[in-house]
Structure formats: structure tokens, C-alpha cells
A and B are shown apart, each in its own frame.
Chain A
Amino acid sequence: MPSPRPPRRDRSASQRDRLVFALGGHDFSRRRGNEALSDYILALADTDEPRICLLPTASGDPREQIFAFRRSLADRTCHSSHISLFRLETEPVTAREHLLSQDIVYVGGGSMLNLLAVWRAHGIDEVLREAWERGVVLCGQSAGALCWFERGITRSAGRARAVAGLGLLPGVLCVHYHRDHARRHALLDASANGDAPGFGVDDGAGLLFRGRELADVVSGEGVGGAWRVERGPRGVEETPLGVRALDDPRPAIDAPTAEIAELRRIRALRP
């Protein structure tokens, strides 16, 4: 159980201390890239022993996700917890107090539509905005990444389309970018018709925002890419963002995806 500690964030954080880390796709399996992402996420907190809380709301609070999350952090220095809005908990916590006393909140994937609806029904949407303003690091994958933006491309009502999120961050986010073509096309359409900039993020890659500005783009295994998608003079343009591979000890390099793809092609040619 997390150690009891009074809420430590009672004043408004400056813009650059308001962090959101949005992952295009991520799970809690113990793969090499995921280990690097877990380290990265925990290091976003300004403390050596961060308190990190999972919100698995978007998939209906399944036990498997909660167990995998807790297991993935078991041998790290942190206090992990979760809040279920669907299950009876043996020790009911006040969601607001608990969330505001965290260093990091991680939102799992699932249905973006359900995520926002259930949060609104419980007043969690307002609590998360407050947490962000107080400097609690917000992160998540898939629906848990889409939710922070003005709009997100979701399939939670069947067809891929743009749905309003909490609007902490500007623009439209699209996750699983090259895994799900219907989503990518929905983002291209939204960008062609709208004025807001869009981001497309592959599984394994993540965007870090400080305030409302993009500050870092990373990927766990160096394979996932990220793109800025905007209407340009010749139609919608996808501009690749420089992705920093977390497993790579070198400083940030631009567009490593092409190099890694080439390396893989060379390896594949070996007998």
C-alpha cells in the first residue's frame, strides 16, 4: 500500500512543470522497450520515490491490467496504486484526494468515449485538470493519451473519428498511427478540414508536453515514430518528428527510424 502522506501540491505549477506524456501504444509487459519507458515515466516526477496511480477506466478497470501495471513496477522505487470506478474496493479512497497526492497518474487504454463519460460522471475530469495545474505528471497510452488533447481519433463508437477530449493540450492526437490505417486517414481528414495541428504517434513512441508545448519525443525500442500533421500549401503534410530512442545512450538524434529500419534490413539478409 502507498505510504500515507498529505497532499503535497497545494499551489499552481508553472507552465513548464505541467507535464503530459502521451504514448501511441504501450503495455506493461516486461519487454526491453517497456522497461526503458517505465524508467522514463518515473523520472518525469520530481522525486526519487514517486507515487504513481493507474486509472484503468477506459477498459472498465480489468484486473489483468491492474496486476500487469503493479507487476511492471514491483522492483522499482515507487509507490504504485490504482483507482477503480467500476469495482467495489476493500478500502474506498476518495478519488480526488488520492489523485492530487500523486506524482504521476497513468491512464490505461480502451474506449476514449467511455473513459471521458465515466470520468465526467464521477467528476474525475475536473480533478485531473487540477492535478495537471498542480504539477502532477499525467501520462497514458492509446485512449489514455488521446484524452488530454482537444480532440482524439478514436474507434470507441466503431468507425474512426475525432472526439473531444479534456483539451489540456492543443490539436488532434492519433495513436497506433501506422498499425491502424483507418485512424491515420481520419487524422489526415481532420487536418485537411480543420485548422488545429495534429500528431500521429506509433506504438512504442511518446510525446512529452511541457505546458502546451511539445518538449520531447521518445520511443522505447527505437522503432515507433511520430509525426506532426498539418494543412500546408500542397494539402495535408506529415512531418516526421525527431524521435529519441530511449535504449540508445547517445544524445537525441533526428529520425532514427530510417536507420534502424535499414539495420534490420541488413540483418534480415544475413544467412
Chain B
Amino acid sequence: MGAMRQIVSFGGGGFSMEAGNPLLDEFVLDLTGKERPRICFLPQASGDADHYLVRFYRAFDAERCIPSHVSLFRRLRAPRDPRSHLLDQDVIYVGGGSITSLIGVWRAHGIDRILRKAWERGIVMCGLSAGSLCWFEEGVSTFHGAPERVEGLGLLPWSNTVHYSSEPERREAYHQWLLDGMRPGYAADDGAAVHFVGADVAQVVASRGDARAYRVEAVGGRVVTTQLATRYLGDPKVRPIVPPAAVARTA
């Protein structure tokens, strides 16, 4: 039997966006079931920005986990063999930035193939923003201004978009593309994360009480948005929010 294939796709949040709120990052570490999991950060979407690496190492304390990173811009300072380093992790965490630049750099170094292998071996894959879009077949990015239709690695057979409730322009573009034939997918707010096992949603968790994630698809010429049951990670006593019947909205 193969390993459990897991992806946690953040609409936004974690150490990159929610300084002082470790709920989503802790959730990902807990999924490994390890006392002190190995977690490797891939900051290519930001061009391996130094300040981003510093924030990663501040957030992922060496007492709690074994943090590392792979830089593809400064190879001489990075692990000599990124393949064996990546395949040796419990979690691979992809930072935000430009999805287009991210996928371009990964392909140039063969990292795309290594990440697929890592996922197949049961390493928990996660990330926010570009680090969420990258796992899907396709998605909507607004990083470079107007909404753009972008391609990901295609580990998940869905479309995706992030920062959903905070960007009406992105939502409109997503709905239009769904009507034009983009495959159905998942959209998440800042602070919400969708946990996939295989291609299916296992649960939705949130680091903020009001953050949600949605299944979004075109049905009979309309866009149907279904709010997913979300578990707030801050207080285990809070019961999951029961999703209302499919909330239909047109684009």
C-alpha cells in the first residue's frame, strides 16, 4: 500500500502573513505525527528573499522541528543535492510570491519532478498563496496585477484560488473562467486551509474564526459556491460550522 498523499493548501496565513498566530503552521507539523518533524522551506516564489528565510527560521523553532531550506538562487550555499534533501523531509513548505516565476525556476532545476515523488512518498506538502496554487492543475493569480490564469504542477486535479474573500476582482475572474471551462476547484480565504488526502478534501481548518474555504464549480451555466465545514484551530471546544446547503451564486 502506498503512503498517504497529503497537501495542505492555505488561502493565506501561517508565518508569512499571520505573525504571532502559529495555528496553521502547527497544524501542518502535527499532521506528520512526529515529535520533531523535518520541515524544508522553498522560497522560490519570492526569489529566495533573505528576509523571508529569516522569518521562516524564526517561526519554525529548532526545539519543535528540524527546519531547513533549499535555495535555487544561491546554489553554492544550499544543500549539495536538493533531491535527497527534499525526499528526506516530513513537511515541504512553499512560500508565497509569483506562481509563474516559481514554476519556471522549479522546472529549470527538475524540482517539479522531485516534489511529485515527495508527495507520493507521503511527505506533507503545504504552502500559501503561490505555495497553494502550485499543487493544482490550474488557478487564478493576481500577483502581477490583473487576474491571470496560471498552471500549477497538477498534483491535485482541481483549480484553485487564494485570498478569496479579500479580493473581489479575483473572485469575478475565477467565476468567469469556470464558466469558460476551467475545471472545478477550491478557493480559500486568508486564514483558511484545505487539507487534501489524495485528491479529496479531508478537512478544512482555520486560524481565524471567520475564515472559510469553498468548493467552486460551474453547473448548468451558473457558478455554484459551496462553503465547506471549517474547524477553527484556536479552540478545540468550538464545534465545526455546518455548511449550509449549496449556496448558489452566479458570476
Residues of A participating in the B interface, judged by any CB pair closer than 8 Å: 57-62, 85-88, 92, 110-111, 113-114, 116-118, 120-122, 155-158
Q: Which residues of A contact B73 (CB under 8 A)?
A: 58-60, 110-111, 114
Is B49 in contact with A111, judged by CB distance below 8 angstroms?
A: no
Contact flag A157-B109 (CB < 8 Å), given A85-B98, A121-B100, A122-B101: yes
Among B45-63, those with CB < 8 Å from A are 45-50
Closest residue of chain B to A111 (Cβ to Cβ) is B73
- Cβ-based interface call for B173 (8 A): no
Is B75 in contact with A156, judged by CB distance below 8 angstroms?
A: yes
Residues of B participating in the A interface, judged by any CB pair closer than 8 Å: 45-50, 72-76, 80, 97-98, 100-101, 103-105, 107-109, 143-145
Contact flag A158-B75 (CB < 8 Å), given A62-B50, A85-B98, A122-B101: yes
Is B98 in contact with A86, judged by CB distance below 8 angstroms?
A: yes
The 5 A-B pairs at the shortest CB distance, nearest first, are namely: A60-B47, A121-B104, A117-B108, A92-B145, A86-B47
Closest residue of chain B to A116 (Cβ to Cβ) is B108
Inter-chain CB contacts under 8 Å: number: 67
Closest residue of chain A to B71 (Cβ to Cβ) is A60
> Could you list some 23 contacts between A and B, CB below 8 A?
A57-B47, A58-B73, A59-B73, A86-B46, A86-B47, A86-B98, A86-B101, A111-B72, A111-B73, A114-B72, A114-B105, A117-B105, A117-B108, A118-B100, A120-B104, A122-B100, A122-B101, A155-B75, A155-B76, A157-B75, A157-B109, A158-B75, A158-B80
Q: Which residues of A contact B100 (CB under 8 A)?
A: 85, 118, 121-122
Closest Cβ of chain A: how far from B133's Cβ, in Å? Answer: 14
Q: At the interface, is chain A mostly helix, strand, loop or mixed?
A: loop
Contact flag A62-B143 (CB < 8 Å), given A114-B108, A116-B108: no
Q: Which residues of A contact B108 (CB under 8 A)?
A: 113-114, 116-117
Is B143 in contact with A88, judged by CB distance below 8 angstroms?
A: yes
Closest Cβ of chain A: how far from B69's Cβ, in Å? Answer: 13
Closest Cβ of chain A: how far from B77's Cβ, in Å? Answer: 12
Is A60 in contact with B75, judged by CB distance below 8 angstroms?
A: no
Is A118 in contact with B48, judged by CB distance below 8 angstroms?
A: no
Q: How far is the CA of A251 from the CA of B115 in the complex (A)?
A: 57
Q: How far is the CA of A157 from the CA of B109 in the complex (A)?
A: 7
Closest Cβ of chain A: how far from B82's Cβ, in Å? Answer: 9
Contact flag A92-B144 (CB < 8 Å), given A60-B48, A121-B100, A121-B104: yes
Contact flag A118-B75 (CB < 8 Å), given A86-B45, A86-B47: no
Q: Which residues of A contact B48 (CB under 8 A)?
A: 60
Q: How far is the CA of A121 from the CA of B104 in the complex (A)?
A: 5
Closest residue of chain A to B101 (Cβ to Cβ) is A118
